[in-house]
Structure 1
Amino acid sequence: MSRSARSPLLLAGLLAAAGTAHFAAPRQFDHIVPRSLPGSPRTWTYASGAAELALAAGVALPRTRRAAALATAAFFVGVFPANVKMAVDWRRRPAPQRAAAFGRLPLQAPLVLWARGVAKNAEGAA
């Protein structure tokens, strides 16, 4: 299997793992939901987990890959405020936790670019 063929499946796996984690350990995600969002943080945790699982399925399937990869790029942009909130909230935690929280921020750009690359390389891409 070529690298370009593996890339969408790796992205789908990452999304599936993250989506599953939202249901397996929701409390850790509840804490990073921005307070400005209406409703319960748990609702947002489950909704984002379900979205990640749906995106994973879409990226894994060649027929829906392009649209799902573009939606994934938008999703990664959309969850960035939660990562910022986590970094701000964790600024006084022990160094390893603080480093993890702040380290997530610059990783968002490569994730967006990866998803866009998967969309660009998908069958039927314009």
Structure 2
Amino acid sequence: MTTELAKLAPSSVPRTIGRIGLGAVLMLAGISHLTFARDSFQAQVPEWLPLDKDFVVLASGIVEIGLGASLVGLPRQKVAVGFIVAAFFVAIFPGNISQLVTRTDAFGLSTDAARGIRLIFQPVLVLWALWSTGAFAAWRARKR
């Protein structure tokens, strides 16, 4: 099924640039999880999550690096990777909501307005992943 979807995925220079750009953003974010922004990411881990905050930050950083590298280095699997990246962005959204609800300052987001505006960008990341990989278009074309 993944091969079928890959054949249906549109491809263009803007989509390719978008896919590689998103991959680079994810790799940088993953590296920051492991290094200079580790404390800020720990502040975003919801209190209700029954896992060690440092483990969550390190694991999500490694996942982000892997997803970013996959976006850049696996163009033939771009549709599957696009769906996985979109699902990842959905999965981490509760952490962003928690940051707003608990009024946790991190990454310079020190007001409710700033934290609220950040929430708007999570769906943008989901759409970016689905558009740049052609995943959504391939899925829709499969339905026809």
Is TM > 0.5 for Structure 1 vs Structure 2?
Answer: yes
CA apart distance, 1:119: 2.9
Runs of 4+ that moved beyond 4 A? none
Question: What is the root-mean-square deviation of aligned Cα atoms in Å?
Answer: 2.6
Aligned to 1:100: 114
Choose from 53, 57, 65 the match for 1:53: 65
Q: Is the 8 A contact 1:12 1:60 kept in 2?
A: yes
Choose from 7, 11, 24 the match for 2:22: 11
**3-state secondary structure, aligned to 1:79:** helix
Alignment of 1:57-96 (within 5 A): 57-61=69-73, 62-90=75-103
Aligned to 1:118: 132
Choose from 16, 19, 40 the match for 2:52: 40
**3-state secondary structure, aligned to 1:63:** helix
Q: Is the 8 A contact 1:55 1:69 kept in 2?
A: no
- Report Cα offsets for 1:62-107 as digits up to 9, x if no partner: 13322221111001001110001111222799x9622432211011
How many residues were matched structurally?
124
Paired letter, 1:12: G
- Report Cα offsets for 1:12-53 as digits up to 9, x if no partner: 011111111101121111111112222211000011111100
Larger radius of gyration: 2
Paired letter, 1:23: L
Paired letter, 1:113: L
Q: Is the 8 A contact 1:59 1:66 kept in 2?
A: no
**3-state secondary structure, aligned to 1:34:** coil
Task: Tell which has more relative contact order, 1 or 2 (C-alpha 8 A, sep 6+).
Answer: 2
Q: Give structure 1 stretches of 5+ with no counterpart.
A: none
Paired with 1:71 and 1:118, the residues of 2 have a C-alpha distance of 13
Q: Is the 8 A contact 2:16 2:132 kept in 1?
A: no
